[in-house]
Each structure stands twice: as C-alpha cells, then as structure tokens.
Amino acid sequence: MNVYDSELVGGQLEKLGYKHTKKIDSADLIFLNTCSIREKAEETVHNKLENLHYLKKRNPKLLIGVLGCMAQNLKNEILESKPYVDIVLGPDSYRKIFDILQFRKTQNGSIVDTKLSKFEVYNDLFPSRHKGINAWISIMRGCDKFCTFCIVPFTRGRERSRTVNEIIKEAEKAVDDGFVEITLLGQNVNSYFTPEGDFSYLLERVAKIKGIKRIRYTSPHPQDINQELLKVMAKYENICNYIHLPLQSGSDRILKRMNRTYTSKEFLSLVDLIKKYMPNCSISTDIIVGFPGETEEEFNDTLKVVDKVQFNFAYMFKYSSRPGTKASQYTDQIDENTKQMRLEKLIEHQRKNSLMANRKQIGKIEKVLIEKDSKKSEHFWSGRTEGNIWTVIKKTDENIKDIVPVLINDAQGVTLFGEKIKNREENYEIN
Ligand code: 5AD
Ligand code: SF4
C-alpha cells in the first residue's frame, strides 16, 4: 500500500515539474512515506529523519516532508522534536501537495494536514510507476475491522472503495504501459464494495481485461472470503491460485481478544474450502506472537494450526504495543524475552513447513513468470510461480514477462529450482 501511495505522490510531483533522483544529496525535496504498524517501523523513520537533518544543515533550502501513517499518528511529536520537518501530510491529504508546495515558496514554518476523509480514494490521480512486471492498484482504503492490536483503522480511517470503472481504467493503462501483473490492494481488500458489485465482481472484471497475465490481491480478511470469490478465482486462468490469509493466532481466546471474528476451527474450514475450489492453491499468512495475555499453551495452539495448515509462507511478528489501540491498554503484556523465544520457535516450525511445501512441488510443473536475472548467475532467470514462490531456471530462448512451464527439480530454503520444459508431458502433474 505504501509503495502505491509513494507512486501516487510521485505522479503528483512529476506533474509539478519535479524529477526523481537517486542522489539524495542533490534533492530539493525529500518525502518519507511512513508506516506505524509496529514500533520498529517508526524507529526506522526517526533514524532516517535524523540523517536528513544533516542534509538540511548543509542545504537549508531542502524541503523535508513526512507522509502517511506516522504523520497521521505522531504529528505533534514530529513537529516538537524535529522542527526541521517542513511538511507533515496524512494519508488522505496527498491531493493538497500542489497547493502546499506553492504556499511553501512564500511562507516559512511547518505545514501540517492530517485530516482523514470519509471519501478520498484518489480517483483520477494516476501513480507514477517505475517500469517493471507488477503494477499495484489500490481499490479501497481504510479499515473498519478494528482488530485490537492494529493502528490502521486510526491512521487510515474508515473503509471506502473506488468505483469499478476507475479501477478498470487504471488497470488498462498499466497494461498499455507494459505491466503484465496486477496486484489489487486494500487494507481489507475483500471488503471492497460499491453499488455496482463486491470484490468477486471486481476481480472478474479485472480478469477479463486483455493483456493481464496475472492478478493477485492483498490483504484479505478471512471473514470476507466467500464461495463466490473462490469460484471466480478458480474460473480464470490469470487469477493466481494464491491467497494471503492472515491467521494472527491459533488460540480461540486470543483470536477473540484480538477481535478477529473467527475461531481456529472456522479458519481451518476456510482453508479446506479454498483447497476444494483450488486444490493447488498456495496459502501464506501473518502471525503475531506474544499478544497480551498469551499463555504458553495458547502459543502452542498457534503452532498446531500452523503445522496443520502448512502455509507455504508466513510473515511472523512479535506483538508490538501501539498507543491508542485497545490491546495496548491490556495490563497483561508479555515480556520481550518470551516474545522473542516464541517468535524463534514459530520461525523454526514455519521454516520446516515452507521447505516441506516447496519439496512437494518437486516433480511438478509450475507456471513461472520470468521477472529478472537470477542473483545466482547471468545464465539463470528468477521468476515467481502462481503461488508467489521465487524460482530459478536456466535461460533458454524465453524473455522477461513470459510465463513458461517449469519442471521443478529442487527446493532450497524458500526458493525453487527447475528447468523449462518444451511440451507438457502427460505423466507430470500440472499445477
Ligand atoms: N504488532 C505486531 N504485528 C502487527 N500487525 C499489525 N499490527 C501489529 C502489531 N501491533 C501485523 C498483523 C497484520 C500485519 C500487516 O501486521 O499480522 O496482518
Ligand atoms: Fe488492521 Fe487488518 Fe485488522 Fe484492519 S483487518 S484492523 S488492517 S489487522
């Protein structure tokens, strides 16, 4: 989402005549787009701002801006402790960049705009994308789920969806610009809703656009995955058989405390349903360890669900208390040591599961979208399977952006290795 927002702001700045530079020393304007989801993300921004302060001392004309969730969340703290920051803009204020930069030419002092909007979805602002394979397209913004650990509903505001036509227009433009993969984005992507239709309707419309080789979406909430969506996913060849399905915890008491609205049993049934529609569907997840009050037994419940589902991939986090959220007020916070130990244990389980899931692919044929030279050597390509797993293959006559059938012959860590096959042979199982 933040990459998309940066591209959106980049598009605005280009219209104003600014050019992107990789040489930070020569920049006239530096915007940091920030995330508040965990404390560590905020620390990184604080450190980066300290570095930018040095640049500003050398070049007093340099303008420094803070965008996004931290701007929303910590505007007062930023203004008090970092007076050299010129501009603070929340995630719904990017349209005002033109006026703000004009104003700043004549006036000194910091400019702050962090008002959240019930309506802003940035229709008709095209992002400036760097050339590549995948184009991110934001389809909805905000979140109304209020998981008790999460700052997003406070920093990003209420849920609102873009119109189907605007999204289709943006996707068609991305195809014209040479992108072959589209990832639909939203804090809560599958609660997308407009009078014209819901998320499954939108996904089907996008799948019908000519020239899109692959479609992904992130991040859905398990509660809003329905059979209609799974039917559409199974029906269209260009919608990847891949779902990112955040579990967060395998303990029912903790899930309830997190306000996640499903039990571990319901989550497991959903996994079964997904596999019923798409037997080869890859599933990845997000998990938090050390949520307030989590006992050793409850943490073990998470390990059990993780081992049962055998996720292809997982993003794993230590719970990070976010001021203002409900969970930050719970008095039974878990100490850092315990959180660290649980995280390491979970990572070890998941490492084995990922490897096992990848090993199951050996002997199968995967469709790989060629994306770039492999780090291994210039004679090899790197590309991703439908299930989002990086795969290394020897170069033959294919090109970047081609989708090629690859016979998987090895799995190491989180990477697959294989060779392109000329014709699909009947005795191989095709994914
Ligand atoms: N602490 C740790 N992880 C968090 N996430 C969201 N909020 C927190 C928090 N306070 C994780 C969730 C979410 C992912 C994007 O970030 O797992 O799905
Ligand atoms: Fe945060 Fe996702 Fe929960 Fe929304 S659904 S509150 S974005 S974790």
Query: pLDDT (tens digit, 9 = 90+) per residue, 161-206?
Result: 999 999 999 999 999 999 999 999 999 999 999 999 999 999 999 9
Ligand 2 centroid from CA 245, angstroms: 12
Candidate of 37, 187, 259 to mutate for ligand 1, largest count of ligand atoms within 8 Å of Cβ: 37
CA of 158 to the centre of ligand 2 (A): 11
Ligand nearest to the CA of 220: 2
Q: Percentage of residues in the chain with pLDDT exceeding 90?
A: 87
Whole-angstrom distance, CA of residue 214 vs CA of residue 387: 11
For residue 158, is pLDDT > 80? yes
Q: How far is the CA of 67 from the centre of ligand 1 (A)?
A: 20
Cβ–Cβ under 8 Å, residues 73 and 151: yes
Q: How far is the CA of 248 from the centre of ligand 1 (A)?
A: 8
Specify burial of residue 79 (Cβ count, 10 A radius: 0-12, 13-18, 19+). middle
Return the ligand 1 atom nearest residue 149 CA: 10
CA of 384 to the centre of ligand 2 (A): 27
With a Cβ cut-off of 6 Å, ligand 2 is lined by 143, 145-147, 150, 152-153, 187-188, 221
Give the Å distance between the CA of 424 and the centre of ligand 1.
42
Tell me what pLDDT residue 423 has.
61
**CB of 185 closer than 8 Å to CB of 161:** no
Q: Give residue 427's pLDDT.
A: 47
Q: Which residues contact 388 (CB under 8 A, 6 or more apart)?
A: 216, 240, 242, 282, 284, 312, 313
- For 318-358, write each residue's pLDDT tens digit: 999 999 999 999 999 999 999 999 999 999 999 999 999 99
The CA 301 to ligand 2 mean position distance, Å, reads 22
Ligand in nearest proximity to the CA of 287: 1
Q: Which of ligand 2's atoms lies nearest the C-alpha of 150?
A: 1
Residue 67 has pLDDT above 80, yes or no: yes
Q: Given the CA of residue 150, which atom of ligand 1 is nearest to it?
A: 7
pLDDT of 61 over the 80 cut: yes
Identify the pLDDT of residue 150: 98
Q: What is the pLDDT of residues 388-397, one digit of tens each?
A: 999 999 999 9
Ligand nearest to the CA of 148: 2
**187 Cα: distance to centroid of ligand 2 (angstroms):** 7
Average pLDDT of the chain is 94
Closest CA to 202 of 174, 187, 182, 173: 182
Cα–Cα dist 127/138, whole Å: 10
* Ligand of minimum distance to the alpha carbon of 143: 2
* Ligand 2 pocket mutation pick from 35, 140, 146, 147 by most atoms within 8 angstroms of CB: 147
pLDDT tens digits, residue range 95-126?
A: 999 889 888 878 888 899 999 999 999 988 88
CB of 267 closer than 8 Å to CB of 222:
yes
At residue 426, does pLDDT exceed 50? Answer: no
- Whether 322 is in the pocket of ligand 1, judged by its Cβ within 6 Å, is yes
Q: Is 248 in the pocket of ligand 1 (CB under 6 A)?
A: yes
Express as a percent the part of the chain with pLDDT over 70: 98
Residue nearest to atom 1 of ligand 2 (CA): 150
State in Å: Cα 147 to ligand 2 middle.
6
Q: How confident is the model over 356-386, as pLDDT tens digits?
A: 999 999 999 999 999 999 998 899 999 999 9
Place of tokens 């030419």: 105
From the CB of 41, is ligand 1 less than 6 Å away? no
Q: In the prediction, which pLDDT does 142 show?
A: 96
Span 14-29, average pLDDT: 92
User: Whole-angstrom Cα distance, residue 238 to residue 250?
Assistant: 32
Atom in ligand 2 nearest the alpha carbon of residue 248 = 8
Closest-lying ligand to the alpha carbon of 191? 2
Q: What is the CA(23)–ligand 1 centre distance, in A?
A: 33
Instruction: Give the global pTM.
Output: 0.94
- Ligand found nearest the CA of 149: 1
Measure 152 CA to ligand 2 centroid, in angstroms. Answer: 6
Distances (CA, A) of 416 to 57, 119, 366, 408: 48, 43, 10, 7
* Per-residue pLDDT band at 424 (split at 50, 70, 90): low
Element (H, E) at 26: none
Q: What is the mean pLDDT of residues 139-152?
A: 97
Atom nearest to 327 CA in ligand 1: 10
Which amino acid belongs to residue 350? Q
Once rounded to an integer, what is the mean pLDDT over residues 14-43? 92
76 CA → ligand 1 middle, Å = 24
Task: Answer with the residue of higher pLDDT: 332 or 128.
Answer: 332
Which of ligand 1's atoms lies nearest the C-alpha of 248?
17
Are 181 and 216 spatial neighbours (Cβ–Cβ below 8 Å)?
A: yes
